[in-house]
Amino acid sequence: MARYFVSALLLLLSITAQAVPSPDRWSYWDKTDKKSELAVDHSMWQRFLDRYVKHSESMEMYMVEYGRVKKSDKEALDVYLKSLAGQDPRKLNRSEQLAYWINLYNALTVDLILDYYPVKSITKLGKGWFRMGPWRDELITIAGQKISLHDIEHRILRPIWNNPRIHYALNCASIGCPDLLPDVYQGESIDEQLDAAARRFINQRKGASFVSGRLVLSSIFDWYEDDFVDEDNVMKELKTFASGDLKKKLEDYRGRTSYRYNWKLNEYRP
């Protein structure tokens, strides 16, 4: 009986880990100022990225040197987050808002890892029983609203922008996630940056590859298939951003697709 209970519990945790919430629009954040010329200063976040985001040749991805972050730089990261908390993104234009929320999500994620470092996976964090990560923990207050990573991704970014390229920009501190890139997102260039992020991820092994003749995709394309409308549009997305040999193989592929994801910490070790 005990063995059955443990097995059932493990199955429940596995299902919970893979379940992705549907977009749930938080109308409080619908407001925008189309005429606004305000630009958010992300220079403190850029300095952090310059110092601690490194490219791993063996992993073929950008990773973070969490173990070498100086106390002063952790404090500077906290100051940056406080500066974002002190702004009301509803006063920004849509492009600045998008860059604001993406940078906030990524910076909060790094800050969380540093708060609990050393940690093997972000899935080990989170308050309460049966939590598979800190996604619903309220981490910051913006314009009077307490906000979690779940809120930013599933209640703000996904439903308001309805743009699947956002998935290539958000980093969840995991090897399987799209890279935390070395440049901050800027409102004035956000569209080009999202295209570049999409192109990079899809052409990485963890994004899309062929293994023994079968197409193997990141689980992101499975979890968020509805954001791409359907499976056919996932393939269109892949073909749009794929290059070289990968693009050629995708053009004629009619076989089955497998999915994978690596939740290990995206830590750079020299």
- Three-state SS letters, the chain: CHHHHHHHHHHHHHHHHHCCCCCCCCHHHCCCCCCCCCCCCCHHHHHHHHHHEEEECCCCEEEECHHHCCHHHHHHHHHHHHHHHCCCHHHCCHHHHHHHHHHHHHHHHHHHHHHHCCCCCHHHCCCCCCCCCCCCCEEEEECCEEEEHHHHHHHHHHHHHCCHHHHHCCCCCECCCCCCCCCCCCHHHHHHHHHHHHHHHHCCCCCEEEECCEEEEECHHHHCHHHHCCHHHHHHHHHHHCCHHHHHHHHCCCCCEEEECCCCECECCC
pLDDT above 90 covers a percentage of the chain that reads 87
Query: Which of 167, 164, 224, 166 lies closest to 190 in space, CA to CA?
Result: 166
pTM for the whole structure: 0.92
The yes-or-no verdict on residue 23 having pLDDT over 90 is yes
What pLDDT, in 10s, does the model give residues 112-164?
Answer: 999 999 999 999 999 876 678 999 999 999 999 999 999 999 999 999 999 99
The pLDDT value given to residue 246 = 98
Token pair of 261 as six digits: 């994801």
pLDDT given at position 130: 63
Whether 230 and 223 have beta carbons less than 8 Å apart is answered as no
Which residues have CB under 8 Å from 195's CB, separation 6+?
A: 165, 241
Q: What is the pLDDT of residues 154-179, one digit of tens each?
A: 999 999 999 999 999 999 999 999 99
Residue 66 has pLDDT above 50, yes or no: yes
How far is the C-alpha of 234 from the C-alpha of 97, rounded, in Å? 26
